[in-house]
Amino acid sequence: MLIKGLIVVQFGLAITLMIGTYVMQGQINFILNKDLGFNPENVVAVEINSELQNALKIGQLYSEEAQRIPGVLSTSITAGHYRDYSEYGVVDIGMAQMKSATTLSQLGDGIPSEAVDAQYLQTMDIELLKGVNFSKQANTFPSDEVIVNQAFVDAMGWDNPIGQILEDKPENQGWVGPFDGKKVIGVIENYHFKSLYDPLQPMVLQHIEAADQNPGTILIRLSSDRMSETISNLKSLWNSIAEQEAFNLAFMDDMVQRQYNEEIRWNRIIRISSMASILLACFGLFGLSALVAQRRIKEIGIRKVFGASIKNILVLISKDFVLLVVCGFAISAPVAWYLSNQWLTGFSYKIDLDALPFLYGGLTVLLIALTTVSWQSVKAALQNPVENLRNE
């Protein structure tokens, strides 16, 4: 009885962890495969030191020259930083918080903003929903143009966003917000510039020259063919233009994935512990089933003599153990449901918790348990009953 109780608890734990593994796997797959509104694949970010003199000039020169390299599809200069600080739990995918006020205060204190050039949308593969992009011709853009995302339009409640002038002037405070007087020329699809822990926010794109900001990154979209060759060409180009500066290149899809490093690591830990706990539970089960098969060896012999097939015997022996696993499931399902739900609340974008992980978790463990038990029960069922009934 005590042994059975222990095995129920062990299986309860194993099933809980197994369900957890499936839920986490599901959520991680969901966030890694979710349409982010931009396409991070085959995009690399080359860091450029914004403290550098002539940083903009160097960036523009590099950007232009890079476009001539075969395998480079598009380049863009942005003021944002695309850096991986995942060891501190932070990954920057562009964007700076701009303090804003008044009219825009309904959008919150800080508005994420990025200073980019006209190739940004193309390089990031972001869809322009309404209006126009920044002009591609150098120095022809009026400095008061901005592009906003759909969330911005929704937050402002605009029916006709194009041509709207932003007011960003706190009353009686004597200072003017960074977006004051800017005209909306385009609306882009919402894209997730932050991890999926955070909800989509209203954001503003400015032209890097109009915003008078130094570049932080050159984004480059590559063709997927012969990528390493292209990258080594990009490196030589960098060395010829900015020989004093280190060439720092990062893949955007890696960075996006590293936002979830913690989750991926936890998933691995949970998966390994669930396997360990299944293994442990199965050791117990193996011993118990050996004991039971031994204790019932005479009964098995008698039943075989009176017509029981091998299948009948397997069912006979396994039935009780299935019951143990079912008990374990009954205990673990609510616990697993609670824990999974708790974990998922941290995400703004998450899977719906349905029955499938529970089903898979339970069935996986049941299958492993049955395999363990069948080792003993098949052995018992195959024995010649004469052998077991002889020495009485």
Site for another protein, rule CB under 8 A: 298-299, 301-303, 305-309, 312, 384-386, 389-390, 392
How many other CB atoms are there within 10 angstroms of residue 14's CB atom?
A: 28
Q: CB of residue 349 vs another protein: minimum separation in angstroms? A: 55
**Closer residue to another protein (CB): 44 or 288:** 288
Cβ-count burial of 53 within 10 angstroms (0-12 exposed, 13-18 middle, 19+ buried)? Answer: exposed
**Coil, strand or helix at 123:** helix
DSSP assignment, residue 165? B
Q: CB of residue 316 vs another protein: minimum separation in angstroms? A: 10
Q: CB of residue 381 vs another protein: minimum separation in angstroms? A: 13
Q: CB of residue 285 vs another protein: minimum separation in angstroms? A: 21
How many other CB atoms are there within 10 angstroms of residue 50's CB atom?
A: 15
**Closer residue to another protein (CB): 88 or 306:** 306
Query: Is 250 within 8 Å of 83 (Cβ atoms)?
Result: yes
**Closer residue to another protein (CB): 272 or 305:** 305
How many other CB atoms are there within 10 angstroms of residue 119's CB atom?
A: 21
DSSP assignment, residue 126? -
Question: Counting runs of H as helices and runs of E as strands, what totals does the chain give?
Answer: 11, 12
Q: Provide the pairing of β-strand 204-207 with 110-116.
A: parallel
* Helix or strand run (H / E) with residue 222: strand 217-222
**Closer residue to another protein (CB): 68 or 295:** 295
**Closer residue to another protein (CB): 39 or 312:** 312
Q: CB of residue 5 vs another protein: minimum separation in angstroms? A: 20
Cβ-count burial of 59 within 10 angstroms (0-12 exposed, 13-18 middle, 19+ buried)? Answer: buried
Q: DSSP letters of 33-99?
A: HS--SS--TTEEEEE--TTSTTHHHHHHHHHHHHTTSTTEEEEEEESS-EEEEGGGTEEEES-EEEE
**Closer residue to another protein (CB): 257 or 318:** 318
**Closer residue to another protein (CB): 103 or 383:** 383
Q: CB of residue 313 vs another protein: minimum separation in angstroms? A: 10
Q: CB of residue 293 vs another protein: minimum separation in angstroms? A: 15
**Closer residue to another protein (CB): 234 or 308:** 308
Token look-up 């052995």 returns 379
Q: CB of residue 301 vs another protein: minimum separation in angstroms? A: 8
Sign of the alpha-carbon torsion through 228, 230, 231, 235? positive
